[in-house]
């Protein structure tokens, strides 16, 4: 899912503010929230049918490579006044989608700076090779075992979270309004 893009929609802030946040920690709840984000066009990628433009209309990429919503909003003399559907002029809201995609493409094409110098600038001394006399791997296994032991009586199963569920939660949390 390298092509996934989170496109928050401020018009949906009210919907997300009413939500019980604990629902995101339930696997079924997380799936439902993920599907809502896809349905609302807040999560887009190769799995998406189109993108929601600034006026709230789903726009599709036409043969020319530009986004078109099909609304009759144009007043230029070179076209019939309709945004698209496959070629021709596109409206300002769809032009903004073209600009966002161009910026993402340009960002993908740049080589990121090496991370090691940045990470080393955050540290003040040698990094520990173990966690309290045991390897860090053993420590994380113990933490997962303790979590499983604590949640099994309450839920009937281990409450361990997979990396996939964690990354899904991070994506979902990113659409919440910042003033939450």
| C-alpha span between 57 and 47 (Å, rounded) | 18
pLDDT for 9-24, tens place per residue?
777 788 888 888 888 8
Q: How confident is the model at residue 45 (pLDDT cuts 50, 70, 90)?
A: confident
Cα within 13 Å of Cα(167), Cβ side: 6
Q: What is the pLDDT of residue 136?
A: 47
| C-alpha span between 147 and 172 (Å, rounded) | 23
Domain boundaries, the chain: 1-48, 61-111
Q: Is residue 67 scored above 60 in pLDDT?
A: yes
Nearest alpha carbon to residue 158 among 167, 149, 170? 149
| C-alpha span between 66 and 20 (Å, rounded) | 39
Cα within 13 Å of Cα(138), Cβ side: 7
Q: How confident is the model at residue 145 (pLDDT cuts 50, 70, 90)?
A: low
pLDDT for 68-86, tens place per residue?
998 999 888 888 889 988 8
Most confident of 31-35, 71-75, 127-131: 71-75
| C-alpha span between 33 and 114 (Å, rounded) | 35
- Per DSSP, the three-state class of 8 is coil
pTM: 0.47
Instruction: List Cβ neighbours of 94 (8 Å cut-off, separation of 6 or more).
Output: 53, 59, 66, 67, 68, 69, 83, 84
């Amino acid at each position: 899912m390298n092509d996934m893009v989170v496109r928050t929609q401020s018009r949906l802030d009210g919907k997300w503010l009413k939500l019980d946040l604990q629902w995101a920690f339930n696997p079924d709840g997380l799936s439902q929230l993920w599907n809502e984000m896809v349905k609302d066009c807040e999560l887009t990628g190769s799995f998406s049918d189109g993108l929601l433009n600034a006026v709230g209309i789903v726009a599709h990429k036409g043969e020319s490579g530009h986004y078109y919503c099909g609304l009759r909003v144009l007043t230029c003399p070179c076209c019939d006044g309709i945004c698209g559907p496959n070629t021709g002029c596109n409206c300002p809201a769809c032009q903004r989608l073209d600009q966002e995609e161009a910026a993402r493409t340009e960002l993908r094409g740049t080589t990121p700076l090496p991370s090691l110098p940045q990470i080393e600038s955050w540290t003040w001394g040698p990094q520990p090779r173990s966690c309290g006399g045991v390897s860090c791997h053993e420590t994380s296994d113990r933490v997962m075992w303790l979590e499983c032991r604590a949640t099994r009586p309450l839920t009937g199963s281990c409450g361990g979270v997979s990396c996939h569920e964690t990354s899904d939660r991070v994506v979902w949390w990113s659409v919440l309004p910042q003033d939450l």
